Structure 1
Amino acid sequence: MARRRKLYEGKAKVLYEGPEPGTLIQYFKDDATAFNNEKQGTITGKGVLNNRISEHLMTKLAEIGIPTHFVRRLNMREQLVREVEIIPVEIVVRNVAAGSIAKRFGIEEGTVLPRSIIEYYYKSDELGDPMVAEEHITAFGWATTQDIDDIIALSLRVNDFLTGLFIGVGLRLVDFKLEFGRYYTEDTLQIVLADEISPDNCRLWDVETNEKLDKDRFRRDLGGEREAYQEVARRLGVLPEAGPMDLKGPKAIQ
């Protein structure tokens, strides 16, 4: 097994140094968390499924000109990605009222919003990922006005494309979270889509029944989490033939 230096471990993924400068290996775990890590558990095979789903969606987005950090999938649980400087702001795009926005404004869950809403959250587990405004983002130097303009434009393009893609397989894209990073080359700087796109950070409902096929099943103790993720992968045509087999990541060296 390859020995790679572990650079970072988050709630759902581990990042190792890549085989070439400027690359990383992103390993998908089965760990599941909710409510700022207050609830923890495991969804067997989730890492395998999310790796395949995110690979498929990132590839499709690249085909329409969305720049991403994704390079290629390496195996069942790992993918090669470009090393980027992550902007510490999570972008949430909402099409249908669900989760926190329904609670905050007393909107019945499932209400279609009159237009897509973009919200910003500061990436800080210690602070509970507080919602912020563009003024906070620029005042604290997390991103420039031009960065924000690029992020908004990319987020809306991603939303338009994914909404259509999911509708095509009988799924409603209720809302989703995106992360972006700065990708540096010798003479250019580009804002690119990073992290992952999967049922971990998308709310996906069946268009006919409104059955939840995402991490809300874990958040709300609905059960059937693994089957829900498998159903999303099946509809997208990326369910691993061998099933969500286990695969250990590279042995980390400190």
Structure 2
Amino acid sequence: MRDTDTDTDTDTDADVAGPASVVDEREPDITGRSKKLWLVPGDRCVVELVPSLRSFTRARDELVDETGPLRLDFYEKAAARLSDAGVECAFRARLGPVTYLADYRPAPPFEVIVKNVATGSTTRKYPGLFPDGEPLPRPVVKFDYRVDPEDQPIGEDYLRVLDLPVDLMREQALLVNDVLRDWLNPLRLLDFCVIFGFSSAGEISLISEVSQDCMRLRHPDGSPLDKDLFRGGASAGELVEQWKRAFDGL
């Protein structure tokens, strides 16, 4: 795994000191399953990661404290690589073990998924199309509507009717895929999901976390380094130990 010395944090200490204090001063403006968010001046927000793990297919929900810092460690490094490659990222600066400063872009109710290997929902929802674990001839991009209890595929024409830049989101998702696969090599990136937001001027930005919580990642020996461990019933200690292996080359 290759790393870079570049840093996405262009904010000064003074710029982040004020926003960082809101976590202790007031309740979050938005609370989700995996994040809490405080709106701050300048169209920005402070995000705190909630160390939650959830598997709909396995009906399993748990809190594993040590996964929060690991997720942000991964995301901080990934955001630097992606920004260098021309992907506009909302991430601005790390504020603490599980908090960071970001541009605030309202999250749309759908996510973009890139599949390099036929696994997960591909073989579960479309049985017989591909053998499980088979590399796809080219990356597949799909859009899922985010709804409880399980996200559902959404036809691209619905998004086009809403005047959303489907082709640009597809292009950016594939660029993210190229950057992550190059950076993470020799680890294998099977798939991942991202969320794109838009500024008031309509500019696209990657607003979601990029970490082992939202991808399938394999060690060269074939063992999982991601949430598949949780889906498979691994203990909290085993999951944390394996997630840390992804950082061995950093």
How many Å separate the matches in 2 of 1:233 and 1:23?
Answer: 29
- Structure 1: which 4+ aligned runs deviate by more than 6 Å? none
Deviations 1:184-237 (A, max 9, x none): 3xxx32111011000100100012x210110010011134211122122333x2
- Residue 36 and residue 71 in structure 1: after superposition, are their counterparts in 2 closer, same or farther (change >3 A)? farther
Distance 1:181 1:36 in 2: 28
Q: Which residue of 2 aligns with 1:182?
A: 198
Task: Tell me by how many angstroms 1:105 deviates.
Answer: 2.9
**CA shift digits 1:85-123 (9 cap, x unpaired):** 222211110001111112223333221101110111001
- Cα distance in 1 for partners of 2:205, 2:63 equals 30
Q: Contact conserved, 2:90 with 2:207, CA < 8 A, in 1?
A: yes
Partner in structure 2 of residue 222 of structure 1: 234
In structure 2, which of residues 181, 196, 201 is the aligned counterpart of residue 163 of structure 1? 181
Q: What is the TM-score when the length of structure 1 is the normalising length?
A: 0.83
Using the alignment, how far apart are the partners of 1:51 and 1:234 within structure 2? Answer: 16
Which TM-score applies when normalising by structure 2? 0.84
| Partners of 1:49 and 1:233 within 8 A in 2 | no
Aligned runs of 1:195-210 on 2, under 5 Å? 195-207=208-220, 209-210=221-222
Query: Cα offset for 1:17?
Result: 2.3
Residue in structure 1 matched with residue 33 of structure 2 by the alignment: 11
Q: Is the 8 A contact 1:4 1:17 kept in 2?
A: no
CA RMSD in angstroms comes to 1.7
Task: Give yes or no for contact 1:34–1:40 (8 Å, CA) kept in 2.
Answer: yes
Where does structure 2 lack aligned partners over 5 or more consecutive residues? Answer: 1-20
> Please, which of 118, 130, 137 is the counterpart of residue 141 of structure 2?
118
Shift of 1:160: 0.9
Cα 1:166–1:105, aligned 2, differ >3 Å: closer, same or farther?
Answer: same
Which residues in structure 2 correspond to 1:54-65 (within 5 Å)? Answer: 54-65=75-86
1:233 aligns with 2:250: no
Greater relative CO (CA pairs within 8 A, separation 6+): 1
Aligned residues: 224
Distance in 2 between the 1:183 and 1:198 partners? 23
